[in-house]
Amino acid sequence: MTYAKSNHLPETIKVQSDNGSLRLQFSTKYNPIFGDKRKHQGLAMKDTPENWQKAIAIAWRIEEDLQHSDWQKLFDPTFAKYGLKTKYAAELKLAAPIPQLEPEMTVGAMWEEYLIWKRPQLQPTTFEFRFSRAYSVIIKGLVWDGKNCTHSDTGNGAYNLPLSAVSADILLAHPNAMPIKLNTLNALSEAFARLQSLGQTKLTVNPFVVHRNSTKNKTDMYKQNVDSDGAEREWYEVQDTETDPEEKDRRAFTKDDRDTIIKAFYEHKNAAPRQMAPLVEFRFLTGCRNGEAFALRWGDVFLGRDRDKIVFARSYNGDLKNTQVTKTGESRIFKMNDTLRKLLLRIKPETALSTSLVFSKLNGTSWDSCSTAEIWSMSYTKRKDVKYEYPGIVTKLAANNLISGYLPFYNCRHTFISLMAHAGVDLFLLATACGNSIEVIQRHYLGVNKSATFPDI
């Protein structure tokens, strides 16, 4: 027989009915005290509603004593303190303390152990940029703040969550692109499987597995897509799976905007913008990536009859302060036009070494994304905990309506590709020169011409 008891009951000591008599059932947490075999304590009370309430009160008193930090002094092993006398008092093992439950492993703890294990298996740049940085940023729920050149917290990370409380949906909600989020989940899934193999988790279901529809028809990619705002888009209007936010934002300046920006740098009153002016013009004339321009040396520039070309073979990373291969891992040749040739001839020192940087700051060191952003976009200073902002050159041009709008320094690349593609430049030449693909140029710089027809030939 059972009775309606209180809604607020002890968590580790329960009242039970056994053959018409009441008894206490102790949690296995108390095994070191009561022994591994005996987990019950008879109360010598009949199973009645009144006795149920008395038993619950006794259970509460015992639990409060056992949960106290000074439990060995408070707890009465003879149960006399609680109005009981039992024959089991002599059998109690009071020497051992009550074990505390070990805290559950967090996603962050698992991830850090996994990184130590994974690092020797990867190339240094792959480990640093993908696992240690890109994937870790998503796990921690961080996003890049381009203005401040730092990460900000979205408050929606999984790093500090226990493994039992996390799911793939939490990471899929990150604002980053889907491909990199799926790659992050794949890495976490491997980390969890490793944890299971080591016997370091009791969870049996991998929380990082994304269940995909394996029966999806390949022709579905050509169907209309509906945005979150309800707008329908054709397949060719949907953004591709590019994971680099700078490459994905393919907005471009107009030709007039480009010329206005270049002029503003060359004619600026300060020396630093004038020093940066050739770099700005070069990027508008080549469409190279930021790091490729930062790392360019005079040994990569070939000037002369039938030799006017540039070899883009390396890229400078300002975060790691090192020079590495290009984003695609390949070197590429860029054929100069007359304007680009004149620019390089004008700025080349007479005593330039092959290892000397083509573009450098006033102090002779390499440019990087943060130093160019300070001049192009915005610089910041802090005095007495007050943060001051100083608009950069292009920010001011946009604010004064001297150009059609503001775009980041990286979009010099997209401006070059867009202007050249719309000017009818051979797309294969353009794609190979810029480290891109014809498909991307057709789809995202030129668009799909739905009115195109076959000519009469």
- Report pLDDT digits (tens) over 207-239: 898 765 433 444 454 455 554 445 565 544 444
Quote the pTM value. 0.52
pLDDT exceeds cutoff 50 at 65: yes
Which of these, 208, 116, 117, lies nearest to 171 by C-alpha position?
Answer: 208
Which CATH topology does 252-295+357-446 take?
Answer: hpI Integrase; Chain A (1.10.443)
pLDDT exceeds cutoff 70 at 287: yes
**Six-digit token pair at 401?**
């309506």
**Six-digit token pair at 348?**
């080349």
pLDDT at 180: 83
Separation CA 119–CA 321 (nearest Å): 20
pLDDT at 90: 45
Q: In this structure, what are the phi and psi dihedrals at residue 297, rounded to the nearest 5 degrees?
A: -115, 160
Phi/psi class of residue 48: alpha, beta or left (left: φ > 0; alpha: ψ in -120 to 50)? Answer: beta
**Six-digit token pair at 291?**
């790091």
199 HSE (CA, 13 A, CB side): 0
- Give ∠ CA 174-179-181 in degrees, rounded to 5: 30
